[in-house]
Structure 1
C-alpha cells in the first residue's frame, strides 16, 4: 500500500508562509502603534499644564542675554621686556589691547593705567623665554594677563571691567 503525501489545504491558492508573514506584519504594526501612543500620551500629559505665558517666560529665561558691543582700549606704547637666556640678551615686544563691554568702566580703568601697565610689565618680565616661543606659552601668558588685570580692575572699579587681554603684536628676538 502506497502512502499518499498529504498536502495541506490552503484556501484560495495561498503559498505556504504567507500566514506567518501577515502575523509578523500585524504584530509589528501593533507594536509601533503602542510606542506612538505612549510617546504621544507622555508628551500630552507633560505639556498640558504649561500655559502659553509660562512657556514664553521659560523661553525668555533660557534665551541668551544680548551682549553689549565690545569696547577696546589699546595700551600704547607697546611693552618691551628683556630676558637673559644662556648668556644672550633676548627681547619681547608686545602690543596689548583690553576688551570690555562697558565704556564707562573702561574709562574708569583708564584712570588706573599706571597700575595696569606696571602689572603687565611685571608679568611679562617674570616669564621664561623658552616657553614664550611656543603657541601654548603665548596663550598661557594671555590668560595670565587677563586674570591678573581682571583682579586689578575688580579692586580698582569694583566690577569685572576687562573681559579679555588681546595681543595685537608679539615679537620675540
Structure 2
C-alpha cells in the first residue's frame, strides 16, 4: 500500500512537470508574439508620421500688407492693437489685384480690427477667428482669386 501511494505521488508530480514544460514555452511564445506585434505596429506609425511631416507644403505668393495701429471697441478703457499682416495669395494675378485694391483692403482690415474688443482678440481662439474673418472680407473684395491664408507677423494688444 505504501508503494501504491509513492507511485501515485510520482505520477502526479510527473504530470505537473509535463504541464509546466508545455505552458512555459506557450506563455513565452505569446509574450514574444505580443511584443513583436506591438513594436511592428508602433514602428509603422512612426514611419507614416515621418512621411507626412517630410512632404513640403507649397506656399502661395506672399504680400506684406503692412502694420495697422487701431483703437479697439472697448468703451470703458483705452485699448490699442498693433497688427502686422502678410497675405498668402493663390497666384501672381491675385497679387496684382491686391495692389490695385490696396486702399479698399486696408480700409476693410482697419474697420474689422476697430470693431473688436480687447477680450475678443487677446486669446488664440480670438486671433484665429479674426484671421478667418479677414480672409472672408478680403476674398469678398478680390475678383481674380483669393487669399489662401493670413499670417500675423506682429500682434500687440494693449489696455491702458
Q: TM-score, normalised by structure 1?
A: 0.55
For the structure 1 residues 171 and 22, does the alpha-carbon distance in structure 2 shift closer, same or farther, using more than 3 Å as the test?
Answer: closer
Contact 2:131 2:150 in 1 (8 A): yes
How far the C-alpha of 1:87 sits from its partner, in A, is 4.6
**1:68, 1:102 within 8 Å by CA — same for their partners in 2?**
no
Question: Does residue 1:17 correspond to 2:21, yes or no?
Answer: no
Q: What RMSD, in angstroms, separates the aligned Cα atoms of the two structures?
A: 3.6
8 Å contact from structure 1 (residues 80, 94) kept in 2: yes
Q: CA deviation at 1:74?
A: 0.6
How many residues of Structure 1 are paired with residues of Structure 2 in the alignment? 132
Change (3 A) 1:90 1:147: same
Whether 1:171 aligns to 2:135 is: no
- CA distance 1:118–1:86, change in 2 (3 Å): closer
Unmatched 5+ stretches in structure 2: 31-53
Higher helix share: 2
Larger radius of gyration: 1
| Residues 82-133 of structure 1 deviation map (CA, whole Å, 9 limit, x = unaligned) | 2463454433222211013423332233322233222212211211133233
Which of 72, 82, 100 is residue 62 of structure 2 equivalent to? Answer: 72
Distance 1:129 1:106, change over 3 A: same
Structure with the bigger RCO (C-alpha within 8 Å, sep 6+) is 2
- What's the TM-score, normalizing by structure 2? 0.59
What is the distance in 1 between the residues matched to 2:81 and 2:96? Answer: 28
CA contact (8 A) 1:68 1:101 kept: no
* Structure 2 equivalent of residue 107 of structure 1: 96
* Corresponding residue of 1:92: 81
| TM-aligned CA deviation for residue 19 of structure 1 | 2.7
**Kept in 2: contact 1:79–1:93 (CA 8 A):** yes
Q: Deviations over 1:53-104 (max 9, x none)?
A: xxxxxxxxxxx9864344210113x223224634544332222110134233
